[in-house]
Amino acid sequence: MDTATKPIPTFALQQVGDPNVGVCEGDACIVDDHHSQAFVNRQIDEGLV
């Protein structure tokens, strides 16, 4: 979605959480490379993978 077509929110929300986590927008699902790899590495360190 480009800037010109961004919706104007009617209801205000207090945004919380990490802004760099995985999210799907339009037909693309994006994630910051470093963040996702760091997460997987942590899971491996914790023996969860």
Partner 1 sequence: MNETATNANEPVKVDIWSDVQCPWCYIGKRRFEAAIESSGVAVDIEYHSFELAPDTPVEYEGTPIQFLSERKGLPMAQVDEMLTRVTDIATSLGLNYDYEHIHQTNTVKAHELLHYAKAHGRQLEMKERLLEAYFVKTEHVGRIEDLADIAASIGFDRDDVVRVLESSEYLPAVKADMDLAMQYGIQGVPFFVIDGKYGVSGAQESESFANVLTQVLTERDA
Cβ 23 vs Cβ 29: under 8 Å: yes
- Decide whether 4 or 27 has the Cβ nearer to partner 1: 27
Is residue 45 a contact residue for partner 1 (CB under 8 A)?
Answer: no
- Rounded to whole angstroms, the Cα distance separating 15 from 11 reads 12
Per-residue x/- mask for partner 1, residues 19 to 38, rule CB under 8 A? Answer: x-xxxxxxxxxxx-x--xx-
**CA pair distance 40, 49, nearest whole angstrom:** 8
**Closest CB 4 distance from partner 1, rounded Å:** 13
Task: Give the count of residues interacting with partner 1 (CB under 8 A).
Answer: 33
